[in-house]
Structure 1
């Protein structure tokens, strides 16, 4: 049956929950100073820092955007979390637990470390996505003010890595940061945003009016944005995902309940190649495109998580639908290296992990029989999960 991050069944929300440490290899909490609607992992840095979990501490670089109480208090944040250690089983008895200065020093050496560099940002950041373009990570930022900005993060990365660089950044460079470019042609705010994994610098953005714009990088380090929107959605475009193997193809989802697949080689008014009009019973909030298999997963306001085979998408028939969440789905993500595994987060304050390859065990008990066999794990105890 599924592992439970908190000691409760799926229906026992009113019960007092207590985290089971043995369910997690790593469990750390960090504070950003204000709520964040969106974050992204700097994948290049993550790959460079990758080590066997059992032999060395882990590092993680995150970029996040805040939703502060006042417009002027918002920040674009770069965080480096380091010295993160995999949990080890407790050994020894209490009678051998006499504390000493050596133990205290050793414990301090094992504490995670967090370094933060920030850029002041005017307005709530709806979504942030990062890709390395040229010699620097670049953050694409969707603002509640109706514009999309691109920011170079190289100086922030250096600041969280080198103490002397942090001092220089805080004293001088922080207040001098400016976006590489901004696009104000959407005329409304939005959330849909994705970098192309095959063409560095290519970007698609979508707004609450259902309009989608494609950004193309130029050789001189600037961008051109087609002023003609890709049209098809009748309401807000909530999320977009580029194909992992076709550089001109991406998918989108919308409040109009539809999924669409686009090819930017066609004129903007004719770029929609496939449409699934009633993919969910109401708003479709999020999508994720599998990097290894031709599958798409979507999450909707109806609380459903639906898996689609792109080879059969035109039929409008899904592969599977899971209705374990009791509130709108706010995030879905395929596992980067296991093609059958994905995670979902919902407004019911749960994160679920699923494995499509699992089949029901004929000897499952009554408790397990009530749950889908594909449900691997449930994490609870956080509030207002967004990504």
Structure 2
């Protein structure tokens, strides 16, 4: 693991700042505003749709959503805002400290998205140059069922919003695309989805084969409020964004390729594709778990998909999340509102878990993530606001009496339920989490401090009434009711988050 020295979090510029400002009433975006993309540096919006006239009655002025920065010779004194320690006064609002963001953009949507997934593209891995491009698939939670959609977004011209401190005009490289005066551009294609979308997951792809050949389908699964799980081929949507004049057959694309009816009318949230599909796209396996504690497996065959009838049944309450093992093709983990984490093997008879951690949390276990580099590490987040890291080597072996192991690390920084958690795709000690307390946090378990630093930190944080964990690298705020986060697998350090009020895409200097 990479070891990093820690700095004093009380002076960490990654924490958002607060400054006195009169609160402003902000309009709710109209239906015409879908697809608008904004950044903190421009008042212009671009999309593949017509730009909304800000003077029109139903239009929306970007300054009402993201007020322009007012230049003044006298700048207000900014103070690092630490959640749980500081409280905003009546006339105070949070403002981001853009000196610690390499890139920060936000996107408003007509309907909130509970879930999304990042699509692997053919633009290359370990991308560092700007402007950047990202492909995202997301499902909506609209006011009426017939208003819901499944959309593929192509977000391009994601430019840097902060230059390095030692940059100057003489050293600017126009070919590097770092100019700050460019607009981000949003293009999208959508298909109707006749129910609210609880979760979206796309089949994994191997880095060695970054994009499924055009001749093959590219599948995305959606967990619907109706209790159905739909599998869609989003290949035509992607091609229509990338290939000028591409003609896609809407009558075929607007219908799912396959629908899993195993859950009846019982809805759910837990869903994951097997990692083995990345190397063998013809052998897809999809797990889905519902609120009535049942987990079903759907596999692909030469003639299509096959939903198996017999469920996995060891949980006693709602299955909240599922993760296939990144190293063992028949093993998966699940977490539940019954406070437990269960480990399963699809080959086991009786469809029962082979081992588990019970209880893993003091309340509902909402989310889990399996480390892709260090395969024995699993992380979990619960309704209790706790984040726990588990060493699966300490879990009872199959067939032996089950004992509850102790987590190898535990954090209680969030003061609301954990809504999403995910290990970094390449750094095995780094993870991101989001909570119902409107925070997105970035962590590094490899952080170490000497005794003097620890003593100084303890004294200062105890005076403020709360200890800041040294492993906490960054706190991103500004979104309301954050639902899900993902690291971009091909843009190192880039994070995308979805919340009640839209999407954020950012990259910090901390990771």
TM-score surpassing 0.5? yes
C-alpha distance in 2 between matches for 1:185 and 1:270: 15
1:272-330 deviation per Cα after TM superposition (whole angstroms, max 9, x unaligned): 11121110001000000000111000000000011000111234221111000001000
**2:102 aligned partner:** 25
Quickly say closer, same or farther: Cα 1:313–1:304, change in 2 above 3 A: same
1:1-387 correspondence to structure 2 within 5 Å: 1-2=8-9, 3=12, 4-7=14-17, 8-11=81-84, 12-15=86-89, 16-43=93-120, 45=121, 48-50=123-125, 52-53=127-128, 55-89=129-163, 110-131=182-203, 135-165=216-246, 168-169=247-248, 173=250, 177-187=254-264, 188-199=266-277, 200=281, 201-220=284-303, 222-267=304-349, 269-293=350-374, 294-314=376-396, 315-316=403-404, 317-361=406-450, 362-363=452-453, 364-365=456-457, 366-367=459-460, 370-387=467-484
Instruction: Describe the SS at the equivalent of 1:247.
Output: coil
C-alpha distance in 1 between matches for 2:388 and 2:362: 11
Aligned residue-pair number: 366
Contact 1:42–1:130, Cα closer than 8 Å, also in 2: yes
Instruction: Describe the SS at the equivalent of 1:48.
Output: coil
Structure 2, gaps ≥5 residues long: 1-7, 18-80, 170-177, 206-211, 397-402, 485-511
C-alpha distance in 2 between matches for 1:108 and 1:17: 23
Instruction: Describe the SS at the equivalent of 1:198.
Output: helix
Instruction: Describe the SS at the equivalent of 1:386.
Output: strand
1:187-242 deviation per Cα after TM superposition (whole angstroms, max 9, x unaligned): 2000000000113411111000010011111123x111210000100000000000
When the two chains are superposed, the root-mean-square deviation of aligned CA atoms in Å is 2.3
Structure 1, gaps ≥5 residues long: 97-105
C-alpha distance in 2 between matches for 1:148 and 1:33: 24
1:329-371 deviation per Cα after TM superposition (whole angstroms, max 9, x unaligned): 0000000000001011000000111111112342344446721
1:102-143 deviation per Cα after TM superposition (whole angstroms, max 9, x unaligned): xxxx97983211111001111100000011577232111000
C-alpha distance in 1 between matches for 2:251 and 2:275: 29
**1:103 aligned partner:** none
- Report the alpha carbon displacement of residue 30 of structure 1 after superposing the two structures with TM: 1.6
C-alpha distance in 1 between matches for 2:180 and 2:102: 20
Greater RCO, 1 or 2 (C-alpha within 8 Å, sep 6+) = 2
1:153-209 deviation per Cα after TM superposition (whole angstroms, max 9, x unaligned): 0110012223423xx45xx62785211100111120000000001134111110000
C-alpha distance in 1 between matches for 2:469 and 2:157: 37
1:2-57 deviation per Cα after TM superposition (whole angstroms, max 9, x unaligned): 443411112224253110011211111123321000000012x1x6344642x442
C-alpha distance in 1 between matches for 2:323 and 2:179: 43
If the length of structure 1 is used for normalisation, what is the TM-score? 0.89
Instruction: Describe the SS at the equivalent of 2:250.
Output: helix
Instruction: Describe the SS at the equivalent of 1:158.
Output: helix
C-alpha distance in 2 between matches for 1:13 and 1:204: 42
C-alpha distance in 1 between matches for 2:351 and 2:276: 23
C-alpha distance in 1 between matches for 2:165 and 2:270: 48
C-alpha distance in 2 between matches for 1:340 and 1:332: 13
Quickly say closer, same or farther: Cα 1:91–1:260, change in 2 above 3 A: closer
C-alpha distance in 1 between matches for 2:123 and 2:428: 23
Contact 1:50–1:58, Cα closer than 8 Å, also in 2: no
**1:100 aligned partner:** none
